Amino acid sequence: MDFISLNLVSVQFCIIIVTLAIIVNIAYSTIQLGISPMPSTKAARTIMVQWAYKYVQDMSLSTPSTKPVAIAELGAGWGGLARQLARQLNQFDSKSTPQSKSIQVIAYEQALCPWLYCCMLQTIAPIKNLEFRKQNFLAQDLTAFSLYLTYLYPQGMQAIAKQRQRQQIQATPLISCAFALPNETLIKKHILQDWLNTPVYWYEGVICQPSANNGLS
């Protein structure tokens, strides 16, 4: 074997090892967190971003101040939704007056590989009002946010409901793709025209009395 073929074999070997490490890491975080970093669909993102944008617009009209508005994405996956939202809100910023709010998007992602990928995208094509945090959002103080977006799974939504109750942030709206939030008031629901007829939910404000089988005791 000459020197060049030996080098090629080493490169191929490294690629296989790195690919396997990524697959194992994603499988591990999926088991640990209860959900894979599966991205939301284009249609789901469009409606979520539209609702968020409209909310920020209405908010800045009703309570004009210089206080920054921050939006949290709870479980960013590969960062597609967070990037689309932050880009859209950047446009809002540039249309606004210097006195109006600057809108930050903080995207929480605990799984290593998706988070590294999000950081890599931020390095290659940075979006100034976007930050990815490698943190378990369930262990964070979320009280400073004005809006939450999420795409999780039923147990994840129950955990968020408990957190909202604990931190008394049920009055702050939450947009959820696909899964409902127990014991909170549904303000609106949009059914996507996809093969699963995926619902997108908007929760806010009035708190329902917990029922016996709510899983929040």
Ligand X SMILES: C[S@@+](CC[C@H](N)C(=O)[O-])C[C@H]1O[C@@H](n2cnc3c(N)ncnc32)[C@H](O)[C@@H]1O
Among the listed residues 38, 206, 207, 216, the single contact to ligand X using CB under 6 A:
38
Which position among 35, 113, 130, 147 is part of the footprint of ligand X (CB under 6 A)? 35
The phi and psi torsions of 198 (rounded to 5 degrees) equal: -60, 125
CA angle 207, 69, 198 (to 5 degrees): 55
Q: How far is the CB of 78 from ligand X (least distance, A)?
A: 6
The reply to whether 108 sits near ligand X by the rule CB under 6 A is yes
Q: How far is the CB of 49 from ligand X (least distance, A)?
A: 10
Residue 108 β-bridge partners:
74, 133
For the bound state, the minimum distance from the C-beta of residue 160 to ligand X, rounded and expressed in Å, comes to: 9
- Is residue 39 part of the contact set for ligand X (CB under 6 A)? yes
Is 182 among the residues that bind ligand X (CB under 6 A)?
Answer: no
Report the alpha-carbon distance of residue 160 to residue 166 in Å, rounded. 10
In Å, how far are 80, 100, 105, 165, 176 from 73, measured between CA atoms?
11, 22, 7, 18, 10
> What value does the CA radius of gyration of the chain take, rounded to a whole number of Å?
20
Candidate ranges 10-18, 61-69, 72-80, 182-190; the one touching ligand X (CB under 6 A): 72-80
> Which residues bind to ligand X, rule: CB under 6 A?
29, 33, 35, 37-40, 73, 75-77, 80-81, 108-111, 114, 136-138, 151-152, 156
